[in-house]
Chain A
């Protein structure tokens, strides 16, 4: 994947640069702008109080609607702005800062535009989509605030590409080492390599291995250490699920029983321990990246849904004036 791991940057967050506090951009300029906007529209709403009841059809309703639609269009244009690297319409950091604060102000503007009238119609659909887009964006703000440092700490000066290369290296080394030990060990190592899980589907990326798997691993490890015996039957349920962790237990067992050439076995055990940690780190890296970016897969499509609903809302309101 382009942009992943290869660069020494702390956190690869797609195309939005988050280095530095974009939230505090220009002395919270856009936070203040949003607060002023919110206060102004709330004041106008309270002061206006049309006799026929607040709704989108009053003069204030139209004003709020126009402000709202301009905000939505401008907010959506961030996707264009961040792709046009030669733009001189202000820094992307400033855009992101304004995007976040004005996006939150949009909730106030749109809610007052609605006059708190909701129903099963295209108008409320647009409103709900707007809320979902902003909510997913807020998740993004939190994610971009929280995950980069966690990812950096997890990578520990390394990068994902380096870690993956290291994993391949370890696998090759462990196969070679196990080959020198005996067929049984070799077979277990082969099986464990086949079953290393790196990344995977959406669920695997977003969530840790299920607790049930963890429990079964622990049970097998306990069993192994207690009986000192090893058999395919005992290992097979474990082999079906997760290999890396228990392979360590297996090798530990091999070392403890002392029937092996202990130097090589110890080396292999060390390798497997390293591998277990490495796999966990890589998966944690993938998981945190996935969690940091999953909102975009909601935010962007819902933005387009919102734009469509907004078009329908505006056009139908004018069709049936």
Chain B
């Protein structure tokens, strides 16, 4: 077996080949000096391995129990081919294509020099930095990634790549517009829970945040909430900064859930109302700081009748001024009699009445329908006028109508010949002649009879039996219209003004009498409103223990001026002094 051994050495940076030819049956490899290929490395056995030529090919055989790495695999025997790489110690043997005149060629090279090997050993990974951990790169990567995803991308998508465009006019349009920008990267800026009311456009930040670095403008809110009313009417006061510079977001804060949408704290109202006279000189209001400690007395609307003008003037009477605390409604009514626990006389016998027999809750449940003569009184207070015709009644309306109905009735009776003999009496000018049969009566007799009967019935119904029971009746000099009924104050749904929203419905489990002293009221002029002390029995300030915690806006509104739906419920002083309507 002819072998070419080419040993590469490195000298001054140049590789130098040292060729040696050998003809032997076995090629011995080891550290020993007697070996054919001597590998001076202490890790190599003295006789480490041999290359032996068989009939066909060369075999690498490890000697003793040594293990040789061939092509990075540990082995003890290996059939050699061209290109095989044998690693022993720090040396590398490569089987190269056999040159002319040789059976094969071995190239030997130190993989690493002894010096390098020591350096490599020193290059062990002894610290975390050696093991590849770094502070700088992850710091930079995280900084850039978070800044990009958290700020640059959302801001770019919001302001850079698409213009917000005109504000959609309707909620549906807004939803459609929001749907066109599906990424909504700026949602990661969303600081808290959305209110239910605004949740439908919660991915469209631009709906409210129209201009970057500018606070949410009132116009953004008013693009939907056009009907947000002012707090007061006085234009001088509205020009003051507290109103002129007020922002919706002062009181209405989004991103705090539904509960946070309306500020409820007393301090907000107290900022002005604690020293209302100082802030707004000339205000008719008393200072208010808290419900339990300092709250103005109730000032219910009471009617004052103006006889000359025949109108009602409504004033706010103070609950702490008993002298003013009466209402001239021109109606006669005794609550105590009607609510007598033993019952009140009615055409069908004694009848026990309850509050809700007359005071029927309205559709909202918060207040009551106006008391109606037809519905609530007529069952007992019948408007018949002739004992012989008890089913005949006058309408509850204008005196003119009442008088006409009565006169027409008796004229018709006379014409129909229903003048009874017993009715005719010379002694009594009001009655036809007793003995005269109706057929023999002259038209003048019949007319006189009818006029007399009518006159008697009119006097009776106006001044004795019916009208006068509830109304104030005045006699007139006019023969055609001998009586006049004074107007009755129109019903008012809310006797407390000041945007008060007392809700009867939520208090329905409380008996009426626990607040309203109706059973002791002897006159219709009584004001049956309880004082604020009664409210304070149950309601306390926010934070009060063992009380219903109530803040200003539990009873009062802010956007109160001309608020559409409730205008009818909240008569203002200016609109009430109008011609009183007939009941």
Given contacts A183-B64, A187-B45, A321-B213, contact A119 B189 (CB under 8 A): no
- Say yes or no for A67: interface residue by CB 8 A criterion: no
Evaluate contact between B146 and A202: CB separation under 8 angstroms: no
- Say yes or no for B239: interface residue by CB 8 A criterion: no
- Which residue of A has the minimal Cβ distance to B43? A190
- Say yes or no for A47: interface residue by CB 8 A criterion: no
Q: Which of B47, B134, B142 has the largest number of chain A CB atoms within 10 A?
A: B142
Complexed CA–CA distance, A250 and B524 (Å): 119
Evaluate contact between A293 and B128: CB separation under 8 angstroms: yes
Contacting residues of chain B (173-219) with chain A, CB-CB under 8 angstroms:
186-193, 205, 209, 212-216
Evaluate contact between B139 and A175: CB separation under 8 angstroms: no
Evaluate contact between A308 and B143: CB separation under 8 angstroms: yes
Complexed CA–CA distance, A119 and B255 (Å): 11
Complexed CA–CA distance, A79 and B212 (Å): 34
Evaluate contact between A187 and B151: CB separation under 8 angstroms: no
Given contacts A4-B126, A205-B131, contact A125 B146 (CB under 8 A): yes
Complexed CA–CA distance, A300 and B189 (Å): 25
Contacting residues of chain A (151-200) with chain B, CB-CB under 8 angstroms:
160, 164, 168, 172, 175-176, 179, 183-184, 186-187, 190-191, 193-194, 198-200
Given contacts A120-B188, A122-B150, contact A301 B135 (CB under 8 A): yes
Given contacts A51-B268, A301-B135, contact A184 B130 (CB under 8 A): no
Evaluate contact between A311 and B189: CB separation under 8 angstroms: no
- Say yes or no for A320: interface residue by CB 8 A criterion: yes
Evaluate contact between A311 and B139: CB separation under 8 angstroms: no
Q: Which residues of chain B come closer than 8 Å to A55, judged between CB atoms?
A: 191-192, 256
Evaluate contact between B190 and A119: CB separation under 8 angstroms: yes
Evaluate contact between A51 and B65: CB separation under 8 angstroms: no
Evaluate contact between A122 and B139: CB separation under 8 angstroms: no
- Say yes or no for B336: interface residue by CB 8 A criterion: no
Q: Which residues of chain A come closer than 8 Å to B193, judged between CB atoms?
A: 119
Complexed CA–CA distance, A313 and B151 (Å): 8
Evaluate contact between B64 and A320: CB separation under 8 angstroms: no
Which one of A119, A202, A297, A301 lies within 8 Å of B191 (CB-CB)?
A119
Complexed CA–CA distance, A41 and B570 (Å): 47
- Say yes or no for A289: interface residue by CB 8 A criterion: yes
Evaluate contact between B150 and A308: CB separation under 8 angstroms: yes
Which one of B43, B212, B265 lies within 8 Å of A51 (CB-CB)?
B265
Q: Which residues of chain B come closer than 8 Å to A191, judged between CB atoms?
A: 67
- Say yes or no for B13: interface residue by CB 8 A criterion: no
- Say yes or no for B267: interface residue by CB 8 A criterion: yes
Evaluate contact between B256 and A199: CB separation under 8 angstroms: no
- Say yes or no for B12: interface residue by CB 8 A criterion: no
Complexed CA–CA distance, A172 and B41 (Å): 11
Evaluate contact between B45 and A52: CB separation under 8 angstroms: no
| CB proximity of A184 to chain B, nearest CB, Å | 6
Q: Which residues of chain A come closer than 8 Å to B145, judged between CB atoms?
A: 308
- Say yes or no for B155: interface residue by CB 8 A criterion: yes
* Contact code string A32-75 (vs B, CB < 8 Å = 1, else 0): 00000000000000000011110111000000000000000000
- Say yes or no for A107: interface residue by CB 8 A criterion: no
Q: Which of A52, A191, A309 has the largest number of chain B CB atoms within 10 A?
A: A52
The tally of CB-CB contacts under 8 A between chains A and B is: 182
Q: Which residues of chain A come closer than 8 Å to B268, judged between CB atoms?
A: 51
Evaluate contact between B213 and A202: CB separation under 8 angstroms: no
Evaluate contact between A194 and B124: CB separation under 8 angstroms: no
Complexed CA–CA distance, A176 and B46 (Å): 12
* Contact code string B248-274 (vs A, CB < 8 Å = 1, else 0): 000001001001100111111000000
Evaluate contact between A199 and B265: CB separation under 8 angstroms: no
- Which residue of B has the minimal Cβ distance to A320? B209
Complexed CA–CA distance, A279 and B508 (Å): 87
- Say yes or no for B241: interface residue by CB 8 A criterion: no
Q: Which residues of chain B come closer than 8 Å to A320, judged between CB atoms?
A: 186, 189, 205, 209, 212
* Contact code string B19-51 (vs A, CB < 8 Å = 1, else 0): 000000000000000000000001111110000
Evaluate contact between B43 and A309: CB separation under 8 angstroms: no
Given contacts A297-B135, A301-B138, contact A290 B191 (CB under 8 A): no
- Which residue of B has the minimal Cβ distance to A161? B122
Complexed CA–CA distance, A199 and B192 (Å): 48
Q: Which residues of chain A come closer than 8 Å to B63, judged between CB atoms?
A: 183
- Say yes or no for B66: interface residue by CB 8 A criterion: yes
Evaluate contact between A168 and B121: CB separation under 8 angstroms: yes
Evaluate contact between B191 and A56: CB separation under 8 angstroms: yes
Evaluate contact between A183 and B214: CB separation under 8 angstroms: no
Contacting residues of chain A (186-242) with chain B, CB-CB under 8 angstroms:
186-187, 190-191, 193-194, 198-202, 204-205, 232
Given contacts A184-B65, A297-B135, A305-B142, contact A52 B263 (CB under 8 A): yes
- Say yes or no for B132: interface residue by CB 8 A criterion: yes
Evaluate contact between A304 and B129: CB separation under 8 angstroms: no
- Which residue of B has the minimal Cβ distance to A296? B135
- Which residue of A has the minimal Cβ distance to B142? A305
- Say yes or no for B133: interface residue by CB 8 A criterion: yes
Contacting residues of chain A (267-321) with chain B, CB-CB under 8 angstroms:
286, 289-290, 293-294, 296-297, 300-305, 307-309, 311-313, 315-321
Complexed CA–CA distance, A195 and B260 (Å): 68
Evaluate contact between A117 and B191: CB separation under 8 angstroms: yes
- Say yes or no for A123: interface residue by CB 8 A criterion: yes
Q: Interface residues of A: mostly helix, strand, loop or mixed? A: helix
- Say yes or no for A121: interface residue by CB 8 A criterion: yes
- Which residue of A has the minimal Cβ distance to B133? A297
| CB proximity of B63 to chain A, nearest CB, Å | 8
Given contacts A300-B139, A305-B143, A312-B146, contact A52 B256 (CB under 8 A): yes
Q: Which residues of chain A come closer than 8 Å to B125, judged between CB atoms?
A: 199-201, 205
- Say yes or no for A89: interface residue by CB 8 A criterion: no
Evaluate contact between B65 and A53: CB separation under 8 angstroms: no
- Say yes or no for B140: interface residue by CB 8 A criterion: yes
Q: Which residues of chain A come closer than 8 Å to B266, judged between CB atoms?
A: 51
- Say yes or no for B242: interface residue by CB 8 A criterion: no
Which one of B141, B192, B260 lies within 8 Å of A119 (CB-CB)?
B192
Q: Which residues of chain A come closer than 8 Å to B296, judged between CB atoms?
A: none
| CB proximity of B121 to chain A, nearest CB, Å | 7
Complexed CA–CA distance, A252 and B141 (Å): 54
* Contact code string B100-138 (vs A, CB < 8 Å = 1, else 0): 000000000000000000100110111111111111001
Complexed CA–CA distance, A1 and B131 (Å): 12
Evaluate contact between A319 and B155: CB separation under 8 angstroms: yes
Complexed CA–CA distance, A232 and B65 (Å): 7
Given contacts A121-B190, A187-B65, contact A289 B127 (CB under 8 A): yes
Evaluate contact between B42 and A176: CB separation under 8 angstroms: yes
Q: Which residues of chain A come closer than 8 Å to B47, judged between CB atoms?
A: 183
| CB proximity of B143 to chain A, nearest CB, Å | 4
Q: Which residues of chain B come closer than 8 Å to A122, judged between CB atoms?
A: 150-151, 188-189
Q: Which residues of chain A come closer than 8 Å to B555, judged between CB atoms?
A: none
Q: Which residues of chain B come closer than 8 Å to A302, judged between CB atoms?
A: 142
Q: Which residues of chain B come closer than 8 Å to A172, judged between CB atoms?
A: 42
* Contact code string B363-393 (vs A, CB < 8 Å = 1, else 0): 0000000000000000000000000000000
Q: Which residues of chain B come closer than 8 Å to A183, judged between CB atoms?
A: 45-47, 63-66
23 A-B contacts (beta carbon < 8 Å): A51-B266, A117-B192, A119-B193, A120-B188, A122-B150, A122-B151, A176-B42, A183-B45, A183-B47, A184-B64, A186-B46, A190-B43, A190-B45, A297-B138, A301-B135, A301-B139, A301-B141, A305-B143, A308-B146, A308-B150, A311-B151, A315-B155, A320-B205
A186-B45, A317-B189 given; 17 more Cβ-contact pairs under 8 Å: A1-B126, A4-B127, A51-B263, A55-B256, A56-B191, A119-B192, A122-B189, A123-B189, A160-B126, A179-B46, A190-B45, A199-B126, A201-B131, A301-B135, A311-B147, A321-B214, A321-B216
Query: Closest 5 CB pairs between A and B?
Result: A51-B265, A312-B150, A301-B138, A308-B146, A304-B139
